[in-house]
Amino acid sequence: MRRTKTSLRTCLGCGLEADKRELVRIVRGPDGDVFVDPTSKKSGRGAYVCPKEACFEAAVRKNRLGHALRAVVKEEDIERLRIEFEQIAGSDARFGSGR
């Protein structure tokens, strides 16, 4: 195991570890809503996915996301998350390079 001072999180999609700042956080809020958290500061149970469409799709397939968040992620939630995710992954300066 690698140990560093950075906060490593595992991508739900591909299973690789990355610094959490390089991942997109998806959160289940206190009221049970599931949403993409661009600030990574919202409270709630979070899961992390690489800013890549393939990882997002892998995470929502097989309900990995719902399992990780212990939430019911409905098809309509996935649709909304996909839009939010694409906006963040595609527009955030953090993810602007290497695409």
CB 14, min distance to Zn ion, A: 3
Residue number, 14 or 88, with CB nearest to Zn ion: 14
- Using CA atoms, how far apart are residues 88 and 94, in angstroms rounded to an integer? 9
CB 58, min distance to Zn ion, A: 7
Residue number, 12 or 73, with CB nearest to Zn ion: 12
CB 66, min distance to Zn ion, A: 17
Residue number, 15 or 32, with CB nearest to Zn ion: 15
Cα distances from 32 to residues 3, 58, 70, 93, 98, in angstroms, run: 33, 22, 9, 29, 34
Angle 75-91/53-60 helices, nearest 10 degrees? 160
